[in-house]
Chains A and B, each alone.
Chain A
Amino acid sequence: MGVLLNIASFALCVLGQTLVAASVYLVSLALIFIGGRGRKEKREKKRQVETRQEPTPDEIKRRPVSAPEI
């Protein structure tokens, strides 16, 4: 969405609508920035979930012994 608005602002600029183009350009920049941050947060959350699923050797060392399931 942000990228589309960005392209649109350049199109408006070429058509001579510089004032409209400038405001559309600013909105597009804001959208691109927010979108990028959201994706980064999502990626970090995913990484946290992964480490929680798989214990590291250090975590295994610190776990208490429990009765084996047999």
Chain B
Amino acid sequence: MKKLIFLSGTKGGTGKTTLALNSAVLLAFLWRDVAHYPVAFLDLTPNVGTAALILLGDPLATWGRPSLSDFAGGNIADPLRAFYIRRWNTEKGAFQLVFTYMAQDVPLTRRHLEYVIQMVESRLKPKVLFFDAPPLSAGSPLAGLVDYVVPVVTPDVSAVEATKSYVDLVGGRRLRPVLNMYIPEYSISAVHGMPWELVIEKTLGERPHVIPFDKLLQAARQALEVEVLKLRPGESPGVKALAEYARYLAATVG
């Protein structure tokens, strides 16, 4: 089981959740015949993160169900009781993903996390485990627990700086960075006097994968839907670029 996180350090709103959830769904679809639970998803955002809300499919669905907060608070001993299955039926067959989330703002210690990871690996046996976390700073319990880190930046000096400072925070191998919300008309950074793609290459050591700004991604988010399951690459350049990145992940992590 490989563990992967999209990270922007202390910077929020760069598209980490969009990337994590869509990549997770795409890999779950791609590997639907390879494993029973090809992909597991841990939404570590306190008070129910967006990814969990989308996967649950109903904002009221959190009522009365155990979540990882109950494990962290000592209400349940087996963290797998806080995991749920989301299944989709498509014209090319059914596929599924297992996920969990934090219903309250109870701190999840490093020891808790290690135990959860161990249980997921031994009993669910996914090929990959995605973490989705709010902006992270020093002292994150995830440090040393991930295998792969994807730096995510937007064309924004502070996003690039925050990501650069914290990209090694959780350890793991660094994968190709993502430049999200890119606007081709504003390709040059006015501050650096060079193209954003080059700024990222210089800062993070590798040419980024570019995901254009696409308001359809925001429309799908407003509908609380998984972008790649509702929008076609032909109509949404954002979805097209998300699928390209998932193909790269499948080849690198799988």
Is B228 part of the binding interface, using a Cβ–Cβ cutoff of 8 Å? yes
Q: Which A residues are in CB contact (< 8 Å) with B88?
A: 65
Residue of A54, A60, A63 ringed by the most chain B CB atoms within 10 A = A60
- Of listed A54, A58, A61, A67, residue having the most chain B CB within 10 A: A67
Q: Give chain A's interface secondary structure class.
A: loop
Encode B53-92 as 1/0 by CB contact (under 8 A) with A: 0000000000000000000000000000000000011111
Q: How many residues of A contact B (CB 8 A)?
A: 15
For chain A, residues 28 to 70, give those with C-beta under 8 angstroms from any C-beta of chain B: 53-58, 60-61, 63, 65-70
- Residues of A near B30 (CB, < 8 A) are 70
Q: Which A residues lie within 8 Å of B89 (CB)?
A: 65
Name B131-146 residues within 8 Å CB distance of A. none
Contacts of B246 in A (CB 8 A): 70
Evaluate contact between A57 and B243: CB separation under 8 angstroms: no
Report how far A61 CA is from B215 CA in the complex, Å: 15
B219:A65 contact, CB within 8 angstroms: no
Q: Which of B25, B223, B250 contacts A58 (CB 8 A)?
A: B223
What are the residues of chain B within 8 A of A67 when measuring CB–CB? Answer: 29, 90-93
**How near does chain B come to A57, taking the closest CB pair, in angstroms?**
4
Contacting B219 at CB < 8 Å: which of A60, A66, A69, A70? A60
Q: How far is the CA of A60 from the CA of B236 in the complex (A)?
A: 12
* Interface residues of A, Cβ cutoff 8 Å to B: 53-58, 60-61, 63, 65-70
* B interface, CB within 8 angstroms of A: 25-26, 29-30, 88-93, 215-216, 219-220, 222-225, 228-233, 235, 243, 246-247, 250
